[in-house]
Amino acid sequence: MSIPRLIQALVLFSVVLGVLFLVQVQGLLPQEVFDFVAVGWVLFIVDAALTFAKPRVSYYLAFVLAVLALGSSLPQTAHWAFIEEGDLLPSATFILGSAAQVLLIVLVPVYFLSRRRQRA
């Protein structure tokens, strides 16, 4: 599978996983925080559409969204508590989502560097 297809798949996976995440946190978060998280999910939906229409723009957006998602989720002690408690569904959501974001953060620059090398 090519890097562009992997990036596209990871963005689409993030959208799907986002639905599961929103369902899990709906009653747990204050409404303002939930709304903020929902806006992030909508941006992932926009990015998913862009992967088909404007891939290059999508890759930049995917990178930014991945950094923001990781930056907001990794420091949350509640996320790590799910893992420590062995709570399977929230743990899996956190681990899979974080892994997808890390892969996006790695693959987007790799893609742009490889394109630069091909042009040179």
Rounded to two decimals, the pTM is: 0.91
Residue 100: pLDDT above 90? Answer: yes
Do the beta carbons of residue 38 and residue 114 sit within 8 Å?
Answer: no
3-state secondary structure of 53: helix
pLDDT of residue 78: 80
Q: Where are the domains of the chain?
A: 3-119
Mean pLDDT for the chain overall: 93
pLDDT tens-digit readout, 23-82: 998 988 899 999 999 999 999 999 999 999 999 999 999 999 999 999 998 888 888 888
- DSSP summary character for residue 1: -
**Residue range 12-17: average pLDDT?**
97
